[in-house]
Amino acid sequence: MSKRIVGLIICLMIVLPAFSMHALAAPDTELEIQIMGGLPLPLFLHLVGGVIGNIGNTTAYNVSYTLTIDGGVLDGIHKTFEGFEEEILPDTGWSVFLNDVYGFGLVTIVLTASASNAQNATGSVKGVQLRQFTWVPFSWINALKT
Protein backbone atom coordinates (compact mmCIF):
# COMPACT_ATOMS: atom_id res chain seq x y z
CA MET A 1 0.00 0.00 0.00
CA SER A 2 2.81 2.45 0.78
CA LYS A 3 4.36 1.73 -2.62
CA ARG A 4 1.09 2.78 -4.27
CA ILE A 5 0.96 6.02 -2.28
CA VAL A 6 4.59 6.84 -3.09
CA GLY A 7 3.93 6.00 -6.77
CA LEU A 8 0.82 8.21 -6.77
CA ILE A 9 2.74 11.12 -5.22
CA ILE A 10 5.54 10.78 -7.79
CA CYS A 11 3.01 10.68 -10.63
CA LEU A 12 1.27 13.79 -9.30
CA MET A 13 4.60 15.59 -9.00
CA ILE A 14 5.32 14.80 -12.66
CA VAL A 15 1.84 15.42 -14.09
CA LEU A 16 0.64 18.51 -12.19
CA PRO A 17 3.36 20.90 -13.39
CA ALA A 18 2.31 20.17 -16.97
CA PHE A 19 -1.18 21.48 -16.23
CA SER A 20 0.01 24.58 -14.41
CA MET A 21 2.39 25.87 -17.12
CA HIS A 22 1.56 29.29 -18.46
CA ALA A 23 0.80 29.53 -22.15
CA LEU A 24 2.31 32.37 -24.11
CA ALA A 25 -0.20 35.15 -24.55
CA ALA A 26 -1.00 36.44 -28.00
CA PRO A 27 0.86 39.66 -28.82
CA ASP A 28 -1.12 42.82 -28.20
CA THR A 29 -0.54 44.28 -31.66
CA GLU A 30 0.80 42.38 -34.65
CA LEU A 31 0.95 43.53 -38.25
CA GLU A 32 0.61 41.14 -41.18
CA ILE A 33 1.36 41.87 -44.84
CA GLN A 34 -0.42 40.42 -47.88
CA ILE A 35 0.61 41.50 -51.41
CA MET A 36 -1.59 41.20 -54.49
CA GLY A 37 -1.02 41.79 -58.17
CA GLY A 38 -3.49 43.17 -60.67
CA LEU A 39 -6.78 41.40 -61.19
CA PRO A 40 -7.68 40.81 -64.86
CA LEU A 41 -10.87 42.87 -64.64
CA PRO A 42 -11.16 46.33 -66.24
CA LEU A 43 -11.38 48.33 -62.98
CA PHE A 44 -8.55 46.46 -61.25
CA LEU A 45 -6.17 45.96 -64.17
CA HIS A 46 -3.82 48.81 -63.27
CA LEU A 47 -3.57 48.16 -59.53
CA VAL A 48 -0.83 46.38 -57.63
CA GLY A 49 -0.66 46.54 -53.87
CA GLY A 50 -1.39 44.88 -50.63
CA VAL A 51 -3.09 44.86 -47.29
CA ILE A 52 -1.62 45.72 -43.91
CA GLY A 53 -3.61 43.70 -41.41
CA ASN A 54 -3.68 44.05 -37.64
CA ILE A 55 -4.02 40.48 -36.39
CA GLY A 56 -3.39 41.40 -32.77
CA ASN A 57 -6.01 42.26 -30.17
CA THR A 58 -5.25 45.97 -29.69
CA THR A 59 -5.22 48.93 -32.06
CA ALA A 60 -2.03 49.66 -34.03
CA TYR A 61 -1.11 53.35 -33.80
CA ASN A 62 0.93 55.61 -36.10
CA VAL A 63 1.27 53.10 -38.92
CA SER A 64 3.64 54.17 -41.68
CA TYR A 65 4.06 52.11 -44.82
CA THR A 66 6.05 51.93 -48.04
CA LEU A 67 5.04 50.03 -51.18
CA THR A 68 7.73 49.61 -53.82
CA ILE A 69 7.83 47.89 -57.21
CA ASP A 70 11.20 47.50 -58.94
CA GLY A 71 12.56 45.56 -61.88
CA GLY A 72 11.53 45.09 -65.45
CA VAL A 73 13.54 44.95 -68.63
CA LEU A 74 16.76 46.93 -68.22
CA ASP A 75 15.65 47.68 -64.63
CA GLY A 76 13.23 50.30 -65.94
CA ILE A 77 10.43 50.04 -63.38
CA HIS A 78 10.79 52.00 -60.13
CA LYS A 79 7.66 53.14 -58.33
CA THR A 80 7.21 53.88 -54.64
CA PHE A 81 4.24 54.92 -52.56
CA GLU A 82 4.59 55.99 -48.94
CA GLY A 83 1.80 56.72 -46.54
CA PHE A 84 0.66 57.05 -42.96
CA GLU A 85 -2.43 55.90 -41.12
CA GLU A 86 -3.17 57.02 -37.57
CA GLU A 87 -4.60 53.68 -36.45
CA ILE A 88 -5.63 50.24 -37.64
CA LEU A 89 -8.18 48.52 -35.44
CA PRO A 90 -7.80 44.87 -34.38
CA ASP A 91 -8.86 42.27 -36.97
CA THR A 92 -9.01 44.88 -39.73
CA GLY A 93 -6.70 45.96 -42.50
CA TRP A 94 -5.60 48.93 -44.56
CA SER A 95 -5.19 48.55 -48.31
CA VAL A 96 -2.35 50.20 -50.19
CA PHE A 97 -2.19 50.29 -53.99
CA LEU A 98 -0.02 51.65 -56.77
CA ASN A 99 -1.62 52.36 -60.12
CA ASP A 100 -0.29 53.15 -63.56
CA VAL A 101 2.81 50.98 -63.37
CA TYR A 102 4.01 50.36 -66.92
CA GLY A 103 6.73 48.15 -68.34
CA PHE A 104 7.75 44.60 -69.15
CA GLY A 105 9.65 41.94 -67.25
CA LEU A 106 10.16 40.44 -63.83
CA VAL A 107 9.43 42.73 -60.88
CA THR A 108 9.77 42.61 -57.11
CA ILE A 109 7.00 44.10 -54.98
CA VAL A 110 7.82 44.99 -51.37
CA LEU A 111 5.42 46.29 -48.73
CA THR A 112 6.82 47.39 -45.38
CA ALA A 113 4.78 48.65 -42.42
CA SER A 114 5.70 49.86 -38.96
CA ALA A 115 3.62 51.02 -36.02
CA SER A 116 4.56 52.73 -32.78
CA ASN A 117 3.29 49.78 -30.74
CA ALA A 118 4.14 46.81 -33.01
CA GLN A 119 7.13 45.24 -34.66
CA ASN A 120 7.87 46.04 -38.29
CA ALA A 121 6.30 43.79 -40.90
CA THR A 122 7.59 43.22 -44.43
CA GLY A 123 6.23 41.27 -47.34
CA SER A 124 7.93 40.66 -50.68
CA VAL A 125 6.78 38.84 -53.81
CA LYS A 126 8.01 38.33 -57.35
CA GLY A 127 5.75 39.07 -60.29
CA VAL A 128 5.68 39.81 -63.98
CA GLN A 129 4.88 43.23 -65.47
CA LEU A 130 3.04 43.04 -68.82
CA ARG A 131 2.49 46.67 -69.91
CA GLN A 132 0.07 47.97 -67.25
CA PHE A 133 -0.85 44.56 -65.79
CA THR A 134 1.21 43.24 -62.87
CA TRP A 135 0.76 39.50 -62.49
CA VAL A 136 1.58 37.90 -59.14
CA PRO A 137 0.77 34.18 -59.33
CA PHE A 138 -2.03 33.05 -57.00
CA SER A 139 -2.02 36.31 -55.03
CA TRP A 140 -5.80 36.82 -55.13
CA ILE A 141 -6.51 33.18 -54.36
CA ASN A 142 -4.25 33.37 -51.30
CA ALA A 143 -5.92 36.61 -50.19
CA LEU A 144 -9.38 35.07 -50.40
CA LYS A 145 -8.34 32.08 -48.29
CA THR A 146 -7.36 34.23 -45.29
Domains of the chain by residue range = 25-145
d(CA 14, CA 29): 36
Average pLDDT over residues 96-100: 86
What pLDDT, on the 0 to 100 scale, is given for residue 22?
Answer: 38
What pLDDT, on the 0 to 100 scale, is given for residue 78?
Answer: 92
**pLDDT confidence band for 146 (50 / 70 / 90):** low
Angle of CA points 85, 91, 94, to nearest 5°: 30
Asked if residue 38 lies in contact with residue 46, where contact means CB atoms within 8 angstroms, the answer is yes
Asked if residue 117 lies in contact with residue 60, where contact means CB atoms within 8 angstroms, the answer is yes
d(CA 57, CA 52): 15
Per-residue pLDDT for 66 more than 80? yes
**pLDDT confidence band for 100 (50 / 70 / 90):** confident
d(CA 62, CA 15): 46
What is the reported pTM? 0.74
Torsion angle of alpha carbons 5, 6, 9, 11, nearest 10°?
-110
Per-residue pLDDT for 129 more than 70? yes
Q: What is the pLDDT of residues 75-84, one digit of tens each?
A: 888 999 999 9
Architecture category of domain 25-145 in CATH: Sandwich (2.60)
Percent of the chain with pLDDT over 90: 36
Q: What is the pLDDT of residues 7-50, one digit of tens each?
A: 545 544 454 444 433 333 345 888 999 988 877 666 656 778 88
